[in-house]
Structure formats: structure tokens, C-alpha cells
Chains A and B, each alone.
Chain A
Amino acid sequence: MLRAPNNRETKPRGIKDRPIRFATHLRNVVYDVMIDRGWTEVDREEVGAWDFLWADVAWMREVFDHTHLSDHQRINHFRNHYELTRKDHMVKNLKRLRKTLEREGSDVAKELDFYPKTYVVPGDYSLFAEEFRASGGVWIAKPVGRAQGRGIFLFNKLSQVSEWRRGSRYEQDSEPGPETYVFQQYISNPYTVGGKKFDMRLYAFVTSYSPLTVWFCRDGFGRFTFQRFTMDLSDLADNTVHLTNVAIQKHSDEYEGDGDGCKWSIQQLREYLTQLHGTQAVDQAFVDIQVLVVRSLQAVAGRMINDKHCFELYGYDVMLDSSLKPWLIEINASPSLTADTADDYSLKHAMLDDMFTIADLEGRLSGNETTVGGFDQIYGPDGWVKAGQTMLGAANRREENLKEILGKERK
């Protein structure tokens, strides 16, 4: 891929003479973080008034294109982030990257083997049906446009999804077609702890797609189901067995509290896995996760409308199977920033605060840092920062690091 020339010289020097003005409609952890940094809130309707806008996706869709932004202004989304976050776009982008690499004869192609077989329906229904007849098994159906586990279900017979068969054939039908879904081969051998399945929520921060610059947070958490995992066909319909979204688990019969007892930190997870499988296997698995993150971003880098005003925080949902191989479940451009528990709050607060430090609206960084707070830069204009190694799940020494890089300026 072509790399853009190093544009550090054109980077604005930062706002040092006054408090930074922000606008947002949210009232959760990110709001607290911005206030705690000493920023002041302004009305988001007045475009010229804010230095930073924490926008929602609707604003990006409807208003961004008609808005002129000054050099110093920043926004928390890229215009077409859906290339990454909508499941149907992600599938297409990954397939395209894979084909390109295979044509070039690169063996990076096998590093893309982190996405289960996926088909967008009703469009590709016939392709899906062919695959299903050949391999069978259990598949998972997810709506492309919805979140928090809504509308997801598992199936193991074509008759259960016949609704999507009609859409591709009867395009002239006056009735509205079925909702766009992806059908994906279900990972039926997830890694379980105490018999329970889990997935990992990880945070990646992209400051630019051209050149691709990615920061990866050492912190994150694993979300467990309350029910023991089983591939028993009679339990296929029970989403509390199969889906780890907190929203789903909150409605489980077992759920009693406030989200407590549902999560492990990534450090705890890494420690537990290391106890059972040894340092080498677990290190390799975590490096593979880091590679997964970067490859998924490379897949869309060419199509993303890069904009120096934009940066974006992604919530990655990754799952390990029983052989410790990581699988990409989904990417969120608006990861949840509300907190269930005190630990949750401190994790998100620290993570967002470090994110803003990297975004550097105050112009305090030199540009040569590779670790800021709990984030490590994993990919930059010169490619991999430290290939083959990862700090994911390592100790997060953000206070020491921030003192070092910001010195007395840190408030």
C-alpha cells in the first residue's frame, strides 16, 4: 500500500492559551472525562464555537458533509466508519483485501483467517445456501443495522431462514424485502472458563487512515455469559447461553445485580490463561489478536475518507476458540461509554482520558511517543511499531507514563 508523506509538519500546534471547548449530547463517562481535563462545554449547534465535538453517528451522516471545519477543530468519527462497523461492509472489505493479497502471492492472506464464513443476505443467499448444504452445522444470524444483540438468533436448518430466500428472487415484489442480515458460521468451540463462554472487548484508537496510525489499549475486559455453554440443539434459541452482550445477559434469569460478576479484566484473563496454557501459547494468542486488529483496519484503510479533523475510538469484540485462536466478532464505532460498576467507570475514564491525550488538542506531545497512558502505538507511518509483541493485558502503568511524557504540565 502507498504511504502518505509524513504530514507531521502540517499538524496544528495545539490550543495552549485557553481551555478547550467541547460540545456533546452525551452525559456519561466521556462527558466527565472532558470536564475533568478542564475543558468547557459549549452549545453544539454553533459550529464555530467548539474545538471538539463528540458527535453521534446520526450527526455524521446528516450534518458533517455540510459543515466547514477550521484547522484546529476535531471530531470523534470518520465520515464512512460504517465500512468497518457495518457487518456487511466489513465482510466485503475483508474479502477484497484477501483477494488482493492472494493475487500478489503474499502469505499475509492466511493472517486474515480471523473472520468466520459470512454471507450478506438476501443478496448472497444462493451462495450461502450452497455453502450451508455442503458444510451444515450451526450458523448465527445478525442484523446489519442493529446493536446490543437485538435480532440475533442461531439456526441449523435452512427452513428456519427461508424468509431471506424470497428477497433475492422476487426483487420486483411490491412488499418490502426482509431486513438485511449476515449469516455467519457459528464458532461452536469457544474457549470457556468455568463452562461459560466469553468474548473480549478491546479498544483501538485510530488517529489517521493515511498513513494508518493505530493505538491499542492495554486494558479491556472479558464478558461472560451467566449460563454454561452448550451446543445442545434444544438450547439454540436461548440467547443467554450464546450471546455475551451485557444487554442480553441482564435479562437472563440468573442476573441479579448491576452487571457485577459478569466481567473479568483483560489482565485477569491473560493471567488465568497463562496459568493453564503457559506463557508462549498465550503470548502468541494475544499477538494474533493485535494482528487481527491491524489487518481489519488495513482492509478498510483504502476506502476510508481520511480527514485530519477526525479520529475514532473502536470497540473490538474478539472471541477465543478452544485452541486459543482469536476470531473477530464485530467492531463498534460507538462503544458503550456508560459504566455498570466502579471498576468499569475507572477503566473507561482512564482509557478515554488517554485517548484525548493522544489526540493532543493541547499540543503537548512531541509526536515521537509510542506509549501514552494505557495505549501503545502498534502501527504507524513506518509500519509495525513492534512486530511480534503486544502489551495487551500487560500492567497498565499510565500514571508513571503520563508523568514522564507530560512532565509538570499534567494537572
Chain B
Amino acid sequence: MDVFQSYTSHQCQADILDEVTKSKYKAISLKRSLSTIAGSLGATSMIQNEIFKHMDSGSFGASLPASIQRQINRNNCPPPSIQQYRDLQQRLVDRIHGDLQKLSEDLGVPFSFPVEQPQTKKRRQQFDDITFRHTFEVSEDFEMAFMYTPQDLLTLSLELTSTNLAAPQGRVGAMKAMLSGDVSPQAILAAWPEIAAAEKHFGVDDAWDMGFYQETYRRGETLIDGYTAPLLTSVRKYAKHGIPAGLRRTMWATLLGANIPRARGDFNRLRTGMRTTQLLVDAFTAPDIELHGLDEHFFVFESEMYELFACFIRDASVSRQAALTPPLPTGVASEAEVAVPCGVYPVAGFVRLIAPFCLLFSDQAEAYGLFRAMYCRYFCGLVTVAPGRLGLPYLLSAVETMVHTTNPRIAPHLTQLGLTVLDLVHPWLVFGFAGFLSPVEWACLWDRVLAQDSLLPLALLAAGIIELRADAMLTLSSANDVRDLFSDFTAIKAIAVIQSFVNQSIH
């Protein structure tokens, strides 16, 4: 299989060998320690993503063992073929690449070029200032037409069709392909008993139950105390009830398999690179931040967001490590010729994904490491039309099914107003609720995503919010009123909404 020959695999092997030699492990303890070492170096996670990537590219084909084939076809309805997804992604990527090439020609500026160094010593000092930013001369009617929006992703997702002509029952809504399998509250409760109504959660119960708060915090501390690499399974089990704020950095690093020391080195290197080389797509960064990043919570972190964004775009390891990477544009031979070294064109509003990391993690290099790991594992599926359970179409389908099953009156009412459920929820899903929920609630939500290793909590929250406001919505008679109703997230407590939604049919 290609995975073992891949660059990632070689790198992981080399890292582990390094670590073992450095630490002089004894032979007896080596076997036990190997998985821990692999986890702490991020190797496990990287290999996992590599495997996903190969599955995604369809290179396994007919050689998959039957048991895995069965798993893929679990919902008895063959999903859209991988090729469909690839075609849609290819279309998007080609369009953007074409637009960028045209922009590059119009401005007379290549995709990447060196930054002019200032001549005088004083200017050099100012140049090295922390708040370095690229300046870009563009004409007044410069528009971000070459990038794409969440609406584009929705439109593409809606084009997916199931290869099974006999449409399964209960399929309603805008999505033509049924992708989500059984997402009824009963099935979810069976799979995730942690969200039963009686279970206490961080983010909900810690505010009023001091005993729960202290006991859970102490348990969490013991889990990570003194271990350079806490056991993944125990952290995962713990995190299903939420993570206290003080323990989040270590636990997320474990759950994501993020190698923070390496990320620190990468970040510093990229930051230096930021000041020597300028990219055409840097023109996108500052306007994106101004339009989407400067809300009441994040305005303070403007320069941090800029740096993280600019470094991320330059990080070539992302395209290697991410679970899902868009294809190269047609006619482009290698990754070096593409406008974005990281391999992914940022969707409009991409900074929303970055912003919470700047706020929650004060160490910038750590924030970068965690953001990059989060992107490689989860965000990559949200911002592309990606197959499988880590992709946006799956979530869209899941939300539609959930909303229709619990409250069939909603979809017809919305149709009358010219809206669909997906029109309302797709921005929430593309950004994983970043920039909608308050930062603390966002973190609580993603604790669950990481713990369950599934994006389904996002769909549950979206369906839960719709259910919460369903009665109010059914009295409204204009599309704008409905959009306004769903634009206020200040009172939303993510986990409480999810618990309430999942447990409702039990009463």
C-alpha cells in the first residue's frame, strides 16, 4: 500500500527512531512505550490522516477487504462515488486557480515574490516589529472574486446524487443524496450514552455545581499530571463530559496528536518566511480579517490572527498532513506551481476558524500547532466538498434528516418563505460555529467533537438550535425575519441545547 511508502510514513519512522535513541529506552519497556511515543510525536494522527487521504483518492478501489466495504455501505444506499466528489472539488479548484492566474497577469505580480528589504537601519528595526504586515497595491475595484464562499460549498454539495436510483424512504429536503445513515436521537443516545439527560457536563453543570466542577477538574489534572504523553483513550473518555479551561491545551494536544514543539519550530520558521516572501493570496488575508475577524470577542487579536493566517497559508506540510486535500488544478503539474503552498484555498471568512485559537491559547506557537492539527483533522472536511463522515455534505444531510424527523412542520414553512433549512445552517457548519457561538461555548462544543472523533455534534447543535426556535419561527412571515431570529447566539449554551435535543423524544 502506498501509505508505507509515503513521505509521512518515512518521517514518522525517523521521528520515532530519534526519540527512542535520544531517550535510551530499555528494550523491555520499548514495546509498551512505543504507542505512547508515537502519539506524543503526532505520528499516529499523521498516519491516520494519510490513510484517510488515500481512501479519499480512491486508490484502494476494488482491493478493499469485504469488511471495510461493508462499513462504507452501511446505510444500505451506496453513497455518491468518490469520483463525484472529486469532480466537484476539481471544478471549484480550477475556477479559483483560473481567477488567480488572471489576477496575477492583470497586476503583473507572480504568485510569490520577495519582499523588498528596507535600506536604513531604523526602517529595518521598524520592519522587524511584531506587527509586520504585507502591503499590497491593488486597484480600487479589487474584489475577492477569486475566492469562494460557504454558499458555493452548499451549491456544490447539493449537486451530489446518490447512485441508487430507488430513493430511500424518509428523504426530504434539498440534498439529493442521503448520506447520513441513522441519526435519530435514539441511535445517537445508544452510540453516545454520555449525552443522556442525567449526565453532568462541563459547560453546563460546572457553573452551579461546585462539587462536580472541583471533582472533574481534579480527575483531569491527575490524567495529565506529569505525563508528557497522556493516554489517548483515557483523555478521550474524560473529554466526553467536557474539559475545564485550564486543562484544554494539554488535552487538545493529546486528542489531536499535535506535536507542539515541532509546531513551535515550524511557526517560527514560517514567520521569518512571512517577512521575506510575499504571496499574491496575502491580499486576501487583511480584508478577510476586517470583514469576518473583528467581532466583539476577537478584535483585540487582530495581529495574532494575521500572523497565524499568513503562516498557515505558507505551510507546505498542511497539504501532506491533512486528512482531506483538494486536488491540484487541471494542468498544474506540481504543488509548487499553485498559489497557496498549504494546498487549500481559504474560503471567505476562513479567519473565523483561526480566531478562537488566538483567544483561548495565549502562546501563539501553541495556538498555531493546535489550529494546524485541528485543520488537518477536522476543518479540512468542512471547507471542501469532502466525502465521508468528516465532510460537509454528510453534516448537511444529517441536519436535514434530524430537523425533518423531529419537527416536520419546519421545512414546508421555510419553503413557503423561499428558504431551506440548509440556507440557515450551512454557514454554521462550514465554520464549525466559530464566530457564531461565544468562544467559551465554541470550545465546549469542540471538546465533544474531539472526544467522540466525529463532526456529528455540529449537526446536533444546528438541529437543536432550529428546534429551540421552531415555535417562534413558525409565526414569522418573511425570510429576513427568520434570518434575524437565527442570528442571535448570545444566549445559546451549546451542550445544553444538544442534550435537550437528543433527549427530547425520551419524555
Contacts and interface: CB of A to CB of B under 8 A. Distances in A.
B304 A194 contact: yes
Interface in A202-245: 224, 228
Contacts of A193: 300-301
B413 to A, nearest CB: 31
B360 A275 contact: yes
Interface string A62-91: 000000000000000000000000000000
A275 B130 CA distance: 25
A148 interface: no
A132 interface: no
A272 interface: yes
A261 B299 contact: yes
A268 B296 CA distance: 9
B12 interface: no
B10 to A, nearest CB: 38
A368 B70 CA distance: 71
A268 B297 contact: yes
Contacts of A271: 438-440
Contacts of B131: 228
A193 B299 CA distance: 10
A224 B301 CA distance: 11
Nearest to B246: A278
Contact of A196 (B213, B245, B300, B362): B300
Given A194-B304, A228-B130, A264 B296 contact: yes
Interface string B316-340: 0000000000000000000000000
A224 B303 contact: no
Nearest to A279: B213
Contact of A194 (B246, B296, B303, B360): B303
Nearest to A257: B294
Nearest to B298: A194
B130 A195 contact: yes
A277 B438 CA distance: 19
A343 to B, nearest CB: 8
B302 A194 contact: yes
Contacts of A261: 294, 296, 299
Given A272-B359, A276-B362, A278-B245, A224 B300 contact: yes
Contact of B358 (A194, A274, A278): A194
B300 A264 contact: yes
A275 B296 contact: no
Interface in B161-215: 213
A228 B300 CA distance: 10
Given A194-B358, A195-B130, A261-B294, A274 B300 contact: no
A272 B299 CA distance: 13
B233 to A, nearest CB: 26
Contacts of B299: 261
A193 B303 CA distance: 11
B442 to A, nearest CB: 12
B300 A194 contact: yes
A228 to B, nearest CB: 6
A261 B290 CA distance: 11
A261 B438 CA distance: 16
Contacts of A268: 296-297
Contacts of B360: 275
A195 B246 contact: no
Contacts of B359: 272, 275
B440 A194 contact: no
Contacts of B301: 193-194
A274 B245 contact: yes
A46 B303 CA distance: 56
Interface in B268-298: 294, 296-297
Interface in B327-375: 358-360, 362
B432 to A, nearest CB: 18
B507 to A, nearest CB: 27
Interface in A274-325: 274-279
B301 to A, nearest CB: 4
A275 B300 contact: no
Contacts of B303: 194-195, 228
A268 B298 CA distance: 11
A274 B438 CA distance: 14
Contacts of A228: 130-131, 303
19 contacts: A193-B301, A194-B300, A194-B304, A195-B130, A196-B300, A228-B130, A228-B131, A228-B303, A261-B299, A264-B300, A268-B297, A271-B438, A271-B439, A271-B440, A272-B359, A275-B245, A275-B440, A278-B245, A343-B296
Enumerate the 9 nearest inter-chain pairs by beta-carbon distance, A residue then B residue, closest first: A194-B300, A194-B301, A261-B299, A275-B245, A278-B246, A193-B300, A271-B440, A276-B362, A224-B300
